[in-house]
Chains A and B, each alone.
Chain A
Amino acid sequence: MRSVSILLLLILTGLAGYAQTTVSGRIKDNKGRPAAGVSITIKDSYDGATSDSLGRFSFKTTEKGEHLLSASSVGYKPFELKVNLDAVLQPIEIVLREELNELTAVTVTAGSFEAGDSKRTTVLSSLDIVTTASANADITGAIKTLPGTQQVGEKEGLFVRGGSGEEAKVFIDGTVVNNFFFSSVPDIASRGRFSPFLFKGTVFSSGGYSALYGQALSGALILETIDLPENSSASLGISSVGLSTGYQQLAKNKRSSWGIGYNYTNLYPYFKLVKQTPDYFTVPAFHNGEANFRIKTSKTGIIKFYGYFNYSDLGLRRKDIDSAALKDAFSLKNFNVYTNLSWKEKLGKHWKVNAGLGYSNNIDKIGNELQNEQNIKQQIVQEPYDTKDFYVRSGGILAQAKLVFERRITGLSLLRIGSEYLYSEDQTDFTNRYNNPAVNSFFREHFNAVFAETDIYVTNGLAAKLGGRFERSSILDKSNIAPRASLAYKIGKGQASFAYGIFYQKPERGYLFFNENLQYQRATHYIANYQQISTGYTFRSEIFYKKYKDLTTTFPDTSNNGYGDAKGIEFFWRDKKTFKGVDYWISYSFLDTKRSYLNYPLALTPNFAARHTSSLVIKKFLTNIKTQFNASYTFATGRPYYRFSYNSSNNKYVIADQGRTITYNNLSLSVNYLPNIGKQGAKRFVVWVFSVTNVLGNNQVYNYNYSYNGSRKEAVTPPAAKFIFLGCFLSFGVDRSEDIINSNL
C-alpha cells in the first residue's frame, strides 16, 4: 500500500512540478550582425521561440534537467548547446555559422556561360536560343551573340578568342561530337545538325574549362539533353525549307519514354523564290531521322539514348577564279550516323556516376569538276587547272566511352574522377589526274584520358576548382598532362573569378598524312572575370590572355613550329527589368591576336579575327496579339585577308597582298506568333515563325579568294544577301489524362 501512495505522490508532484524556466538570449551571425527569424527550441519539446529583428529571443519552458537547446535558420549551420533547466538561466549568446549553400555560394564562372535550366541563374535558356533573331534556331547561331565569338560566315564552327573553328569542340551529355555541323561547301558556313529543343542545358565556355573536357584549344560547347517529356505528343512542321514530323510516347507510369522523328529539308522551292549567287545544279536536300529513349532507373537515375541519321546531297557551280570562261562544279554527298547512350545515377549517399557511350560514322563524298560555260566537263593539262578535277571520299568512325565518378566530401566540396577512351578510324581516298587510282590515307587512333577535379568551398564566398588531365594518343605516340585551376571570390553583390589552364589538341588529321611525328598543339589560358547576377539582370566582364605553342605549320615542312597569342576584354549585359516586358542583351568583345601557323610567313592576325565585335539582341512579347518580336544587330570590324606567295629564290612564303574586309553589319528580325497559347483544353499548340536575316541588305564580305597568279581577287560573300524563313509548327498532346480526371470530378 505504501508503494501505491508513493506512486500517487510521484504523479502528483509530477503534475505540480510544472514550474517554468525562462530561456532568453541573443543570436548573431558570424559577422556579428543580429540574426532574425532563427528558430530556437528545447530539443524534443514544443517549447521554443523565433528571434526578432535584433536577434533577441525569450520563452518559458516547463522542461527540467539537462536538455539540448538548438538554433536553426536557413543559410546557417544548426547550433546546439547543452543547458540545465533546473537552474536559473543567464541570457544565452549564440553565434551562428554560415552554411555552404549552392544557391548563395560563389560558382567558378571564369570563361563559361551557363545557358539552360540546370542552374537557376541562367544566362540564356533553350527558348532564348530559338528566339534569337539572327540564329535561325541554330544553337551556335545564338552562341555567336555572346562575347568571345567571331562572326565568321565562310566556315562553320565557333571561332573563340582568336582560335580557329577546329579549336572549339562540342560535347553532348559528356562525350565529344565529331561532325557537329553539317558537312560544308567551301566558303559557306553550315548549320549545326541538332535541334536546340533536344537540349535542356547549354554551357558555352570560351576558355579555362573543366578538366573533364580535353582536346579543344579554345572553347567548349557543352550540351545536356532533355529528360523525360511531360506528355506524350506528336509534332508536325511545315516551312519554307521542308517538313518535319515527330512523335514522343511517355509511358503510363511516367518512368520511360521513346520517340522518333523525321525531317526532310529541300531548298528547291526557296531557291526558286530567292535568287542565290551560286548555280545549284543539285539543290540541297537533307533526310534526317532520329530516335530516342529515356528510362528513369530510380528517383535519381536516368538512362538516355539519342540516335541520329542524315543523308544529304547537294551540288553547286561557281565561277572559276582563274578563268572567266570556266566554272567549278562542286558536289557533296554526306552520310552521318550519331548515337549517344548516357547513364546518370546517385550511388549511395556520397557518390554519383555519369557514364556515356558514343558511336558515330561520317562519310563525305566530295567531287569537283572544271566545266565550261555550257557546263561541260573540261580537261586542261595546265597549271592551275590540272588539279581542279578531283574526287574525295572521306570516312570517319568514332567509338567512345566515358565514366565519371563524383564524390561529395564535406559541405559543397566535391571530387570528380574519371576516364575516357576514344577509338577512331579515318580513311581518305583522294583521286585526281595525278593520283589515279586513288591515294589512300588511313589512321587508327586509340586515345585515352584520365582526369580528376575537385571543387573546394572554403566559405560561401570563396571557392576553388583544381584539376588535371592525363592524355595519351596512340597515333602521336605521346602523352600530356594538362593542369586546370580556377578560383571564385565574392565581392559585394558580385563575384570575381580567375582561371588558368593548359589545353592540348591533336593536329587535324590531314596534317598527319604528311608527317606522322607531329605533337600536340598547346594553349595556355589566363582569365579574370567579374560577374554580377541579380533577378532581372546579368553583368559580366572578362579579360583574358591566351598563349599558343606548337601550332601546326605546313611550310617548309609539316611540323609544330607555330605559335601565337590572343588577348582581349569582353562585356556582357542582359536586362529583363528596366523596360517592362522587354528582354535584351548587349555583348562586346575586343580581341588582339596574332599567330604564325600553316604557311604564315610571320605572326599575323588570322583572317578569322576581328578586333571589335558587338551584338544587341532584343525580344518583346506582346500578350494582346500573342506575338513575340525579336531583333538582333551585330557589328564587327573588318577582318584581315592575305595572299601568301612562294618565293623560290629564297624558299620562303611572303605576303604578296593583304587587306581588310569591310565592316560586318547584320540586322535580323523574327516574329513568333502563338495563336492558341493558353487556350483552355487545347490539345494542339501552334507556333508560326517568320524571320529575315540581314534585313537592311548590308554587303557582307567574309574574306577574299585570290587567283593562282594573284592578279585577281574575289570577295567571299554569303550565297544570298538575306535568308528568309517562314514556318508553322504544330504539336498535338495525346495525353488525355487531364480529360479523364476532369470528367471524374
Chain B
Amino acid sequence: MIRKTFLLSVVLLTVSVALFAQSEKYTGAMKASISLLDTALYNGTLADLANRFERIGEAEKTQWLPYYYASYCVVMSSFMEKDKSKTDAIADRAEALITKAETLNGGENSETCVIRSMIASSHMMVDPQTRYMQYGQVSSAHITKAKSLDPTNPRPVYLEGQAKFYTPEQFGGGKAPAKELFEKAMVMFDTFKPATELSPAWGKTSTQYFLAQTK
C-alpha cells in the first residue's frame, strides 16, 4: 500500500514536473524571443524572429501570444520592405497569423485589433493615394475598436499619434496633434500593467522617439 502511494506520488510528481517544465520551457522561450524584439527591429532579423514565434505557436497549439508576436514581427517587416510589390503578400501573412491568434484567443482583443490596424496601414502605404479610401478607414476603425476593447491600452493611442504625425497639417495631422497623442500614450504606458509577463508591452520606446521628433 505504501509502495503504491509512493509510486503514485512519484508519478504525479513527474507529471507535474514535466508540465511545469513544459510551461517553463514555453515561458522561457517566449521571454527570450520577446527580448529580441527591439534588436530585431534594427538589425533586419524580424523575419527570423517571426519564424521563431511561429514555431513556438505551432508546437504549443493552444497559445495565442506566439502568433500575436509573429504577426507583429511580420507586419513590422512589411513596413520596412523596400520593394512595394512584395508588401501585400507580407501583410497577408501577418493577417493569417493574427487570425490564428484570434481563433486561439476565442476572438479579437484590444492587442489583436492594434495589429489589424497596422496590417491595413501597411496595405495602404503601398499606394496611399488610391488605397486611402479603403484601407485608411479599416485602419482607423481597428484603432477605435482597440480603444473600446481596452481603454487603458496605450498602443492604439500611440498608433493614432503616428498616423497624425504622418498626415499633412492641412488634413488635420502634423506635429501638434501628434504630440498631444504621444504625450497621452506616454502617461498610459506608465500606468499600463500587462496582464502577464508575456503580454504585449511594446511601444514605449517608439512613442518616446516620436515624441522627441515632435519638438
Contact = CB atoms under 8 A, between A and B. Distances in A.
A534 B172 CA distance: 31
A93 to B, nearest CB: 20
Interface stretch (B46-54, B113-121, B191-199): B46-54
Given A623-B170, A678-B167, A745 B59 contact: no
A535 B84 contact: yes
A372 interface: no
Interface residues of B, number: 44
Interface in A72-128: 74-75, 101, 103-104, 117, 120, 122, 125, 127-128
A741 B51 contact: no
B14 A4 contact: no
A44 B171 contact: no
Q: How large is the interface on A (under 10, 10 to 19, 20 to 34, 35 or more residues)?
A: 35 or more
A624 B92 CA distance: 34
B126 to A, nearest CB: 6
Contact of B148 (A44, A583, A678, A741): A741
Given A583-B129, A678-B171, A678-B173, A4 B55 contact: no
Contacts of B80: none
B170 A626 contact: yes
A43 B58 CA distance: 8
Interface string A673-707: 00001111010000000000000000000000000
B170 A624 contact: yes
Contacts of B151: 741, 744-745
B6 A4 contact: yes
A74 B91 CA distance: 10
A45 B85 CA distance: 33
Given A50-B47, A50-B48, A50-B51, A45 B134 contact: no
A230 B137 contact: yes
A41 B58 contact: yes
A104 B89 contact: yes
Given A535-B85, A678-B167, A3 B7 contact: yes
Interface majority SS (helix, strand, loop, mixed), chain A: loop
A576 interface: yes
A120 B7 contact: no
Contact of A741 (B55, B85, B144): B144
Interface string A716-745: 000000000000000000000110010011
Most buried by A among B6, B29, B130, B144: B130
Given A41-B58, A43-B58, A741-B148, A122 B93 contact: no
B9 to A, nearest CB: 10
Contacts of B137: 230
A647 to B, nearest CB: 58
B148 A48 contact: no
Given A50-B52, A677-B172, 5 more contacts: A7-B10, A46-B29, A75-B89, A125-B133, A678-B167
Interface of B: 3, 6-7, 10-11, 14, 25, 29, 47-48, 51-52, 54-56, 58-59, 84-85, 88-90, 92-93, 123, 126-127, 129-130, 133-134, 137, 141, 144, 147-148, 151, 167-168, 170-173, 177
21 contacts: A4-B6, A7-B11, A39-B54, A41-B58, A44-B59, A45-B59, A46-B25, A46-B52, A46-B55, A50-B47, A103-B88, A125-B130, A230-B141, A535-B85, A535-B127, A623-B168, A624-B170, A677-B171, A678-B167, A678-B168, A744-B151
